Amino acid sequence: MASMDLIIRRANLPDGSRGVDIGISQGRIVAVQPGLGMGAAQEIDAAGCLASPPFVDAHFHMDSTLTYGMPRVNESGTLLEGIALWSELKPTLAQDAIIDRALAYCDWAVAQGLLAIRSHVDTSDPRLLAVEALLEVKRRVAPYLDLQLVAFPQDGLLRHQGAFDNIKRAIAMGVDVVGGIPHFERTMADGAESVRLLCEFAAEKGLRVDMHCDESDDPLSRHVETLAAQTHRLGMAGRVNGSHLTSMHSMDNYYVSKLIPLMRESGMTVVANPLINITLQGRSDTYPKRRGMTRVPELLAAGIDVAFGHDCVMDPWYGLGSADMLDVAHMGLHVAQMTGRAAMQQCFDAVTAIPARILGLDGYGLAPGCRADLVVLDAASPIDALRLRPARLAVVREGRVVSRMPARRASLALSGRPDIVAFH
Ligand code: FE2
């Protein structure tokens, strides 16, 4: 075999293999085995650190990111004040500023080993400025980040005049996925009708669907059921995702025992957004306060793909975040009490392999033949990565090292104790 472009030496892999070399040639992984006996133009010694396929964020809003405080902060912290605040901000948004902020966020993402993002883009404004801006961003970041866009009717489909037409125009311009927000329509019947219209439109166009669905604390909201039924009716298994589904947290257990099998039967997938769900939901509760996140372990146990998304970073809904999908998985693990070893591994999968399936990414993984996209973490295993949320020592995109970060080390000045603390 000819010499490689890049070899990652002595890496641990997410499946538990240890001390493996990953050989990369012409942007593809060509060998994964211990002691690869050949040279390469460039070598990185992982020295027992974890090499993982890159992080994937299946739910984000890149048109609003990094706008925190513009024109004011969300004082109540609720979803509805966030939506109202976003409506105040929207008319003042300049296309160049949206592009600059999105590109800055993508820089953070690459540095964190996050190389694929599904972002919703608000199509409520008939000028579709944000759509044009994010299509430009998608084009510019394509060499280093896969950006998939969802046409998202933030102000409602039936509630907002011209909304469906805007979605159709956005799709014609190159937006990838059909979005929706049934719980924001005027009535439960309108919400169900919006799900039907949007799923039929996507089926007809051969597109995927990703809806904000039942992002509320209402135990009687039933749009998840409708989304599952439409997915089943239209034969869209694996192509329809329900985002948030926070109402499921509050639903009656008997009803959920019927709902989850219906979801499984339909082949729909789920994205929970733990950072946002734990902060936005339960706001009208006194005590006890509901956590609001959907029933992640139960959905996984039923065989349904569940990913964790970041949703928001420094915008009208959430003032924190740094494109770190391990922060997201860490919160998801705690909120869902997924503390067993297999469950913690599932939390890591929920920000890597599972969202890659939901996005339909080609060539994702560490097997020979896969695209040479990976991240080397200063941690020995996925569980260690969740514990430490460590430095991304190297990020590789199609065989090229696109980011390096130093390991976090503290120098101790204590007599009789080690000089260096690495938290390992
Ligand atoms: Fe969202």
Interatomic CA distance for residues 138 and 173, integer angstroms = 12
Radius of gyration of the chain (CA): 22
DSSP calls for 77-107? --HHHHHHHHHHHGGG--HHHHHHHHHHHHH
Q: How many angstroms separate the alpha carbon of residue 59 from the centre of ligand 1?
A: 6
Q: Is 413 strand, coil or helix?
A: coil
The question of whether 265 is a catalytic residue gets the answer no
Structural domain boundaries in the chain: 3-53+365-411, 55-359
- Phi, psi at residue 80, to the nearest 5°? -70, -40
Q: By C-alpha distance, which of 10, 44, 15 is closest to 381? A: 15
CATH of domain 55-359: 3.20.20.140
| For the chain, counts of helices (H) and of strands (E) | 14, 18
| pLDDT tens for each residue of 253-309 | 999 999 999 999 999 999 999 999 999 999 999 999 999 999 999 999 999 999 999
pLDDT of residue 93: 87
Quick check: 1 pLDDT over 70? Answer: no
Structure tokens at 231: 């997915």
- The dihedral over CA atoms of 390, 62, 73, 78, expressed in degrees to the nearest 10, equals -90
Q: Is 287 strand, coil or helix?
A: coil
Q: How many angstroms separate the alpha carbon of residue 156 from the centre of ligand 1?
A: 13
Q: How many angstroms separate the alpha carbon of residue 216 from the centre of ligand 1?
A: 12
Q: Which residue has the tokens 């240890």?
A: 18
pLDDT of residue 14: 98
Q: Which member of 136, 200, 215, 225 is catalytic? A: 215
Q: How many angstroms separate the alpha carbon of residue 120 from the centre of ligand 1?
A: 7
pLDDT of residue 337: 98
| Sequence-distant (≥ 6) Cβ neighbours of residue 205 within 8 angstroms | 171, 178
Q: How many angstroms separate the alpha carbon of residue 144 from the centre of ligand 1?
A: 24
Q: Is residue 240 a contact partner of residue 268, using CB atoms and an 8 Å limit?
A: yes
Q: How many angstroms separate the alpha carbon of residue 311 from the centre of ligand 1?
A: 5
Q: How many angstroms separate the alpha carbon of residue 276 from the centre of ligand 1?
A: 9
Q: How many angstroms separate the alpha carbon of residue 61 from the centre of ligand 1?
A: 6
The pTM score is: 0.97
Find the helix packing angle between 129-141 and 163-173, rounded to 10°. 20
Q: By C-alpha distance, which of 344, 287, 276, 362 is closest to 314? A: 276
**Looking at 36-193, which runs of residues are DSSP E strands?**
40-45, 50-52, 55-61, 114-122, 146-152, 177-178
Q: How many angstroms separate the alpha carbon of residue 133 from the centre of ligand 1?
A: 18
Q: In terms of pLDDT, which residue wins out, 90 or 95?
A: 95
- 383-408 average pLDDT score: 98
Q: By C-alpha distance, which of 26, 13, 65 is closest to 372? A: 26
pLDDT of residue 77: 86
Task: Name the percent of the chain lying above pLDDT 90.
Answer: 94
Q: Which residue has the tokens 């003042």?
A: 92
Quick check: 62 pLDDT over 60? Answer: yes
Interatomic CA distance for residues 212 and 241, integer angstroms = 9
Interatomic CA distance for residues 133 and 128, integer angstroms = 9
Band of pLDDT at residue 80, cut at 50, 70 and 90 = confident
Handedness of CA 369, 374, 379, 385 (dihedral sign): negative
Runs of H (alpha helix) within 157-222: 163-173, 188-205
- 206-214 average pLDDT score: 98
pLDDT of residue 79: 85
pLDDT of residue 91: 86
Q: How many angstroms separate the alpha carbon of residue 318 from the centre of ligand 1?
A: 11
Quick check: 323 pLDDT over 80? Answer: yes
Q: How many angstroms separate the alpha carbon of residue 375 from the centre of ligand 1?
A: 26
* CATH homologous superfamily of 3-53+365-411: Urease, subunit C, domain 1 (2.30.40.10)
Q: Is 56 strand, coil or helix?
A: strand
Q: By C-alpha distance, which of 182, 178, 154, 149 is closest to 89? A: 154
- Phi, psi at residue 326, to the nearest 5°? -75, -30
| Sequence-distant (≥ 6) Cβ neighbours of residue 138 within 8 angstroms | 147, 149, 174
